[in-house]
Amino acid sequence: MSAEPRPRVGLFATCLVDLIRPSIGFASAKLIEDSGCDVVVPEQTCCGQPAFNSGDRKTAKALAMQAIDAFQGVDYVVAPSGSCAGQLKKHVPELFADEPELARRADAFAAKVYELMSFLVDVRGVTAVDARFEGSVTYHDSCAGLRELGIRAQPRKLLESVEGLTLTELKDSDVCCGFGGTFAVKYGEISDAIVAKKSDNVAAAGAGTLLAGDLGCLMNMAGKLQRQGRPMKARHVAEVLAGMGDEPAIGEPQA
Amino acid sequence: MNAHSTSPAFKENAHRALNDPALQRALGNVETGFIGKRRKAAAKLPEFEDLRDSARDIKNHVLAHLDLYLEAYEAKVTAAGGHVHYAPTAEDASRIVVEICKRVGARTVAKGKSMISEEIELNTALDAAGVKPIETDLGEYVIQLRGERPSHIIAPVIHLNRDQIESDFRRVHTGLPEGRNLDAPESLLAEARGILREKFLAADVGVTGANFLIAETGTSVIVTNEGNGDLSQILPKVHIVLASIEKLVPTLDDVSQTLRVLARSATGQELSVYTTFSTGPRRPGDVDGPEEYHVILLDNGRSAMLAGEFRDMLRCIRCGACMNHCPVYHAVGGHAYGWVYPGPMGAVLTPSLTGVKEAGHLPNASTFCGRCESVCPVRIPLPKLMRHWREREFERHLSPAPVRAGLAVWSFFARRPLLYKLATRAAMSVLSLIGRGKGRFSALPLAKGWTAGRDFAAPQGSTFQARWNAQARTRR
């Protein structure tokens, strides 16, 4: 019996992971490899969402085309972020809807794009991971992943298989943390008020660790918890699933 | 003239709202009062999602043939003995109401709840003409007592707490015993009812809004929970319906379908307490009803929306679900938006009606969390429409200079992968060194909006791509 060929997955690390927290990229690569795929990391910058959401379609299109070119020749494009995956999967086709030639390329590209949790569970059929994490965690559903891509059950299912981990549900886990990309800086005061409510809910959940699937939201929530002197640690769900949960948490001093 | 706007001062308005403890206490009711009720009502109706599709399709059909339906509607209203007036602008609409009031020698006007009357600032026009408007919806009545504006399209006083309303009543209702008990919301309602009852009887003209206008029959429909709308339109001898042109639906069947998503989306009720259909003035043999029946159809920028990328917004049936589910609305309340329509629907509609230069903050002040779209009964893609406004702003160079500059620097590097790689690798290494001890920054010069209330995580070190490539080299 010949083994099925291993799909070639292009890891779209996302610019935040690339710049701020490479450990999420390595955790993602491990999880994708463990699911029976080969991982490549084509040269990449940004999915273009900040430009798209700021009304700068021209830059958004240029960055989308750059990504489409860079990820030619892979079977899948996987991103550890519902927000960036949503941009590439849902919004990139919108950007080229009026240009038939480019639209075909954009649609074909978008069809290959998956958010990491969805890729592992829905595409690769992963039901369990080989990881240990001692302690209780709670989970925030980031907006784009939840509402654009339907990601809710997948991370919870995989977390169930982590040895030693207990999941406590977060009140209003589906409510925005107030990040919103550039919103967090442009309307910082409102963003801060929204994340203050999230922080209260995280504290009330009573878990030691907050997990989510988007680094932007995590940095926002971690930043608030830390400013308020709360002890909860924030990590990307991929890090815990990949058994890299002992890395210093987001915003914690490097060893 | 369109109602006075403070939308350009959105940030200052928001700052005030965030630092107003009474408002913050009241806003807690939005989250607890609406969301769970809507969820339950939707869950109880297996076909709810299909009904949303159907409501969307009905409204889309009307918008595609609005001219035909307006003509058909007008013919039916006229046949029933009513009068239809077209008002291209807010001023026109107010002028027509004032003219009718003057012609019949009206001294007071009983008003049912109408956001269009807010949009055209009808009360100001009536006051100027020496006609006294009396708001008969409890919330609008309180707003009028306080000289405020509604902060929500279906719950005008959601920004107030019960004790604030109690003290307003004690201040204004001076003829009543001082020791009376007003602890329960019901006692406030009873007191307002007693006072308003006399005013209904004395009113010469009744003004109501309309939730729907039915082309098939020439009927206007209002949904209320207090019954004040019925009294406003039945008791006075003249009934004026104020409605914007997109309120049309083709048939009675269409109204019945759309009503099934309206109250459920708004308050979680299956139907509101009163759903009232009015067709023309009193006929011979009718026991009640007005002698004259007028409909004022307001355009005020809407026909221009029909032809453009904001057409989807005209499907809105004003249920308020988008603001009820909006984290920004929850944080700052409705007044911060600075004009008549707050929340996500206001963030799309207001720039269409007052101009994006005036209202540019509104479509920007959204996290694009998408919760509004996920509950909209007519499936308006609100985040997408807000993004269209940002595109218009960007094209017209109306976006704030620091935002444009930041974006320009970012996209310069993001579009040059090699330069990006070198620059980010160096920058992250430096930032990481500086932030290493604490693991985070408590102040960053270009992100004060962030670091005023939150820390910002320091980078782990070199970039992911640099590390990955280094590892790949050693593997080889």
The pLDDT value recorded for residue A2 is 54
Task: Compute the average pLDDT of residues B408-422.
Answer: 91
Which secondary-structure segment (H or E) carries A209? strand A209-212
H helix runs in B44-65, sequence order: 48-64
pLDDT band at B1 (very low <50, low <70, confident <90, very high): very low
Q: CA nearest B232: which of B117, B136, B125, B139?
A: B136
C-alpha–C-alpha distance, residues B430 and B441, integer Å: 13
Residue A24 to chain B, least CA–CA distance (Å): 9
The partner residue sitting opposite A190, judged by closest CB among B14, B390, B454, is B14
Taking the C-alpha atoms of residue A78 and residue A213, their distance in angstroms, rounded to an integer, is 13
Among A185, A193, A251, select the one facing B449 at the smallest CB separation.
A185
DSSP-derived secondary structure letter, B399: S
Residue B163 has pLDDT above 80, yes or no: yes
- The answer to whether the CB atoms of A251 and B417 lie below 8 A apart is no
CA distance B393 to chain A (A): 7
CATH topology of domain B7-304: Rossmann fold (3.40.50)
* B367 contacts A178? CB cut-off 8 A: yes
Instruction: Tokens 């932030």: give the residue.
Output: B435
What parts of chain A have a pLDDT lower than 70? 1-3
If we measure between CA atoms, which residue out of B76, B77, B107 comes closest to residue B292? B77
Pick the residue of B392, B411, B416 with the most A CBs within 10 A to test the interface with A by mutation: B411
Nearest residue in chain A measured CA to CA from B28: A197
Chain A residues whose CB is inside 8 A of the B453 CB are 188-189, 192, 195-196, 224, 227
Nearest chain B residue to A47 by CA: give it.
B414
Q: Which residues contact B2 (CB under 8 A, 6 or more apart)?
A: B90, B119, B120, B121, B300, B339, B353, B354
State residue B2's pLDDT score: 59
Q: What is the pLDDT of residues B301-345, one digit of tens each?
A: 999 999 999 999 999 999 999 999 999 999 999 999 999 999 999
Q: Which residues does B20 contact at the CB level (< 8 Å), separation at least 6?
A: none
| Confidence (pLDDT) at A3 | 67
pLDDT tens string B356-370: 999 999 999 999 999
Whole-angstrom CA distances from B158 to A142, B5, B22 are 28, 20, 11
d(CA B222, CA B307): 28
Nearest to B467 among A22, A187, A226 (CB): A22
Residue pair A242/A129 in contact (Cβ under 8 Å)? The answer is yes
State the helix-helix crossing angle for B401-414 and B417-435, rounded to 10 degrees.
110
In the A/B pair of chains, how many CB contacts fall below 8 A?
Answer: 222
Q: Which residue has the tokens 């009206």?
A: B106
Q: Per the CB < 8 Å rule, is B450 touching A184?
A: yes
Angle at B365 between CA B347 and CA B372, to 5 degrees: 55
**Nearest-CA distance from A132 to chain B in Å?**
23
Task: Flag if B414 and A41 touch (Cβ within 8 Å).
Answer: no
Q: Yes or no: say if B323 and B158 are a contact pair by the CB < 8 Å rule.
A: no
Phi and psi dihedrals of B108, rounded to 5?
-130, 150
8 Å CB contact between A63 and A84? no
Question: To the nearest whole percent, how much of chain B has pLDDT over 90?
Answer: 84
Are B452 and A189 in contact (CB < 8 Å)? yes
Report whether B275 contacts B65 (CB < 8 A).
no
Say which amino acid occupies B84: V
Other C-beta atoms lying within 10 Å of the C-beta of residue B78: 14
SS3 A132: strand
Q: Tokens in use for A234?
A: 């924030």
The structural domains of chain A, with segments of one domain joined by +, span 8-122, 127-241
The answer for A 155-214 residues in CB contact with B (under 8 A) is: 174-176, 178-197
CB contacts of A57 in chain B (<8 Å) are 391, 394
Locate the chain A residue with the closest alpha carbon to B414.
A45
Q: Do B462 and A22 touch (CB under 8 A)?
A: yes
Beta bridge partners of B83: B294
Q: Is B393 in contact with A19 (Cβ distance < 8 A)?
A: no
Q: What is the DSSP letter of A7?
A: P
Query: pLDDT tens digits for A74-120?
Result: 999 999 999 999 999 999 999 999 999 999 999 999 999 999 999 99
Chain A interface test: which of B454, B463, B468 (most A C-beta within 10 Å): B454
Q: CATH: 3.40.50.300, 3.30.1360.230, 3.40.50.11810, 3.30.420.40. Which one for A127-241?
A: 3.40.50.11810
Q: What is the pTM of this model?
A: 0.96
CA distance B419 to B412: 9
Picking from A92-96, B229-233, B262-266, which range would have the lowest pLDDT averaged per residue? Answer: B229-233
* CATH 3.40.50.10420 residue ranges for chain B: 7-304
* d(C-alpha A132, C-alpha A102), whole Å: 45
The answer to whether the CB of B100 falls within 8 A of the CB of B282 is: no
Residues 227-246 of A with CB under 8 A from B: 227
pLDDT of res. B475: 67
Distances (CA, A) of B288 to A28, B48, B234, B291: 72, 37, 7, 9
A108 and chain B: CB distance < 8 Å anywhere?
A: no
> Which of B13, B15, B367, B428 to mutate to probe the A interface, most A CBs <10 Å?
B367
Buried b (16+ CB within 10 A) or exposed e, B289-324: bbebbbbbbbbbbbeebbeeebbbbbbbbbbbbbbb
Task: Tell me the nearest-neighbour CA distance from B395 into chain A, angstroms.
Answer: 8
Per-residue pLDDT, B228: 84
Predicted-complex ipTM score: 0.96
**Rounded mean pLDDT, B392-420:** 89
What pLDDT does B3 receive? 62
Out of B374, B453, B456, closest to residue A219 by CB: B456
Separation of alpha carbons B27 and B19, rounded Å: 13
Give A176's contacts in chain B (Cβ within 8 Å).
Answer: 327, 367, 369, 371
The structure tokens 């290494």 sit at B429
- Phi-psi category of B376—alpha, beta or left, where left has phi over 0 and alpha has psi -120 to 50? beta
Residue A35 and residue A209: Cα distance in Å, rounded? Answer: 26
Candidates A9, A20, A235: best to mutate against B (most CBs of B within 10 A) is: A20
CA distance B2 to chain A (A): 27
DSSP B297: E
- Domain A8-122: give its CATH architecture: 3-Layer(aba) Sandwich (3.40)
Name the helix (H) or strand (E) containing A69: helix A57-70
Domains A8-122 and A127-241 share a fold: yes
Residue B272 reports pLDDT greater than 90: yes
